[in-house]
C-alpha cells in the first residue's frame, strides 16, 4: 500500500521490512517496555557523501547516497499526551516528556543527549502542521549507524522522528517537505547545517547516488560505474559537530566571506549570505567566483576589528547578526581559505557528475583523483580533517584507492572508491592490518562493522503491522 512515486514516502506492509533480526529484537523490546506491539516501524538510513563536503549550507549541490546502516523506530500512539522514548542500547537512558510543553536546550560542551535529536523532529513537525491535540507516542529506537562518525547518525534520528511524528499526526508524507522540515528543525540543537543529510534520508533511491540541488530541493539519480565499489572506513576518532564550535565557525566564515565579496561588488551584502545566491546575483561561473575570491580575499586571516571596518558596523551588530551563539567569542576568521574550498569543491562535484554521465575506461580513475583532491582541500583549506583520517587516506594512496573524509570531519569516516570487488576486498584486508591492528580504539571491535563496502540504498519508509490501521 502507499505511494511509490518520487514525491511521497512509501508506506508498506511489515512483511517487506529488511534487517528482520533487528526488527524482531526491536518489536520484542517494545513489547517488554510498553506491554503491547508497535503500530508501525520507521526505517531511515545513514548516508555517505561521495563528494561535495561543506558546500550544502553555501547553497551548492552535493552527491550523497544512503547506506545500509539505519535508524529503526518501533512506534505506537500512547494513551496520554506524553512522549515515551527508549533506546534498545542500554547506554542511552530513556526519556519522557509532555508532547505539548517540552523544550530543547542548546547542548553542553559534551554534546547533546541522544533524545534531543528526536525532540528536534517532534518539535519540527508539530510546528509545521500545528495539530490541535497532538497524539502522544511510545517509541523504541534501534540504531546501527556509528555515532559521531560522519555517517549522519544524528540527522537520521531527526529525520526518522519527523517521519514517525508526521505519520502519527496524519500529516501528508511528502518527501521534499519532510526533508526540509528535518533540516530546519535540527537547528534547534544549534547546528547550522545545509540539509544534505535530511535530503538524502528521504530522496535516496536504490542503486544510485543522488545529485541534490537546493531552492527548490531536487534530487537527480546519478548512476555510478558498474565496477565502482565504495568502502567506508571509520577512523574511530569521534567528532560530534554539535559539541564544539568548529562546524559553526566554518559556516560563519563562509557567510562572512560571501558578504565581504558582496560588499566589494557593491551589492546589498546584508541580504546575501550564501555563496550560491551571490553567484546568481553576479551571474558568474564557479570559476569566476574562484577568481573573485583570489582578487578580493587576499589575507589568510581577518581579525574581528578588520571586518568591523570592512562592513562599517558596530561590534554588537556584528555579534548579534553575523555570528552564531557558539562563535560569538571568535576574534579571527579565515575567509579566503573557506571560500576557495567551497568554489573548488563545487567544481569537483560538477566534474564528478559529468564524468559519471559520460563513462569511459578512465571514469573510475578520474573519480578517484577528484575524491583525493577533495580530501586535500578539506585538510588544508577547510582544516576539518584529523590525523587518523589523513593516515587512512595515505594508506589508500598506496593501493591506488581514491579516498576522502566524509561528513563534517574532525574525525569520523573516510569514503574510498575501489575499482572492482577484488580491489575492495584487498583494500579492506590491508586497512585491517595496516591501520586497525595496532589502533587502541579498535581492540575487541568487530572490524567488519568498522570498515566495509556499501551500496546505495532506498530512502526512508514506514512499515505497518496492520495495513490501513494506526493504533
DSSP bridge partners of 303 = 332
Q: How far apart are CA 154 and CA 151, in angstroms?
A: 9
In this structure, the dihedral spanned by the alpha carbons of residues 23, 24, 25 and 31, taken in order and rounded to 10 degrees, is 110
- Selection from 74, 85, 82 nearest residue 38 by Cα: 74
Q: What is the DSSP letter of 136?
A: P
What crossing angle do the helices spanning 315-322 and 304-311 adopt, rounded to 10°?
Answer: 90
Q: How far apart are CA 107 and CA 104, in angstroms?
A: 9
56, 80, 197, 422: which one is catalytic?
Answer: 197
- Selection from 71, 179, 145, 187 nearest residue 449 by Cα: 145
- Selection from 460, 467, 457 nearest residue 2 by Cα: 467
- Name the H helices within 41-173: 114-129, 153-168
Q: How far apart are CA 262 and CA 91, in angstroms?
A: 48
197 is catalytic: yes
User: Which cell goes with 255?
Assistant: 557567510
Q: How far apart are CA 43 and CA 157, in angstroms?
A: 10
Give me the active site residues, please. Answer: 197
Amino acid at each position: 500500500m502507499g505511494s511509490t512515486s518520487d514525491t511521497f514516502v512509501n508506506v508498506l506492509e511489515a512483511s517487506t521490512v529488511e534487517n528482520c533480526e533487528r526488527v524482531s529484537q526491536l518489536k520484542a523490546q517494545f513489547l517488554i517496555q510498553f506491554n503491547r506491539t508497535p503500530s508501525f516501524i520507521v526505517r531511515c538510513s545513514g548516508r555517505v557523501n561521495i563528494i561535495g563536503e561543506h558546500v550544502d549550507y553555501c547553497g551548492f549541490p552535493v552527491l550523497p547516497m544512503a547506506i545500509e546502516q539505519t535508524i529503526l523506530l518501533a512506534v505506537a500512539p500512547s494513551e496520554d499526551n506524553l512522549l515515551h522514548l527508549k533506546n534498545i542500547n542500554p547506554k542511552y537512558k530513556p526519556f519522557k516528556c509532555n508532547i505539548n510543553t517540552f523544550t530543547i536546550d542548546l547542548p553542553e560542551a559534551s554534546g547533546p543527549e541522544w533524545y534531543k535529536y528526536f525532540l528536534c523532529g517532534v518539535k519540527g513537525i508539530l510546528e509545521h502542521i500545528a495539530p490541535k491535540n497532538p497524539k502522544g507516542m511510545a517509541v523504541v529506537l534501534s540504531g546501527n549507524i556509528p555515532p559521531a562518525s560522519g555517517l549522519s547518525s544524528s540527522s537520521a534520528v531527526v529525520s526518522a522522528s519527523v517521519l514517525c511524528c508526521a505519520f502519527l499526526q496524519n500529516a501528508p508524507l511528502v518527501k521534499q517537505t519532510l526533508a526540509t522540515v528535518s533540516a530546519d528543525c535540527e537547528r534547534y540543537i544549534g547546528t547550522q547545517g545545509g540539509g544534505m543529510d535530511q535530503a538524502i534520508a528521504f530522496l535516496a533511491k536504490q542503486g544510485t547516488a543522488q545529485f541534490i540541488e537546493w531552492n527548490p530541493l531536487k534530487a537527480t539519480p546519478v548512476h555510478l560505474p558498474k565496477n565502482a565499489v565504495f568502502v567506508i572506513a571509520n577512523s574511530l576518532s569521534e567528532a560530534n559537530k554539535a559539541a564544539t564550535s568548529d562546524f559553526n565557525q566554518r559556516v560563519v566564515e563562509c557567510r562572512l566571506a560571501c558578504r565581504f565579496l558582496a560588499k566589494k561588488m557593491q551589492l546589498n551584502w546584508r541580504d546575501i549570505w550564501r555563496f550560491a545566491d551571490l553567484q546568481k546575483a553576479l551571474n558568474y561561473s564557479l570559476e569566476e567566483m574562484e577568481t573573485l575570491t583570489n582578487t578580493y580575499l587576499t589575507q589568510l586571516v581577518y581579525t574581528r576589528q578588520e571586518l568591523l571596518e570592512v562592513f562599517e558596523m558596530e561590534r554588537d551588530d556584528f555579534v548579534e547578526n553575523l555570528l552564531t551563539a557558539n562563535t560569538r567569542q571568535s576574534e579571527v576568521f579565515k575567509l579566503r581559505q573557506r571560500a576557495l574550498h567551497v568554489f573548488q569543491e563545487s567544481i569537483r562535484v560538477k566534474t564528478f557528475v559529468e564524468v559519471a554521465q559520460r563513462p569511459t575506461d578512465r571514469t573510475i580513475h578520474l573519480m578517484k583523483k577528484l575524491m583525493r583532491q577533495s580530501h586535500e582541500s578539506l585538510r588544508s583549506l577547510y582544516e576539518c580533517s584529523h590525523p587518523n583520517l589523513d593516515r587512512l587516506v595515505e594508506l589508500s594512496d598506496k593501493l591506488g584507492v581514491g579516498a576522502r573524509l566524509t561528513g563534517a570531519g574532525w574525525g569520523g569516516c573516510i569514503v574510498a572508491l575501489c575499482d572492482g570487488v577484488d580491489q575492495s576486498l584487498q583494500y579492506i584486508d590491508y586497512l585491517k592490518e595496516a591501520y586497525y591492528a595496532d589502533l587502541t580504539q579498535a581492540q575487541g571491535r568487530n572490524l567488519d562493522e568498522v570498515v566495509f563496502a556499501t551500496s546505495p540504498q532506498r530512502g526512508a519508509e514506514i512499515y505497518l503491522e496492520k495495513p490501513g490501521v494506526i493504533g
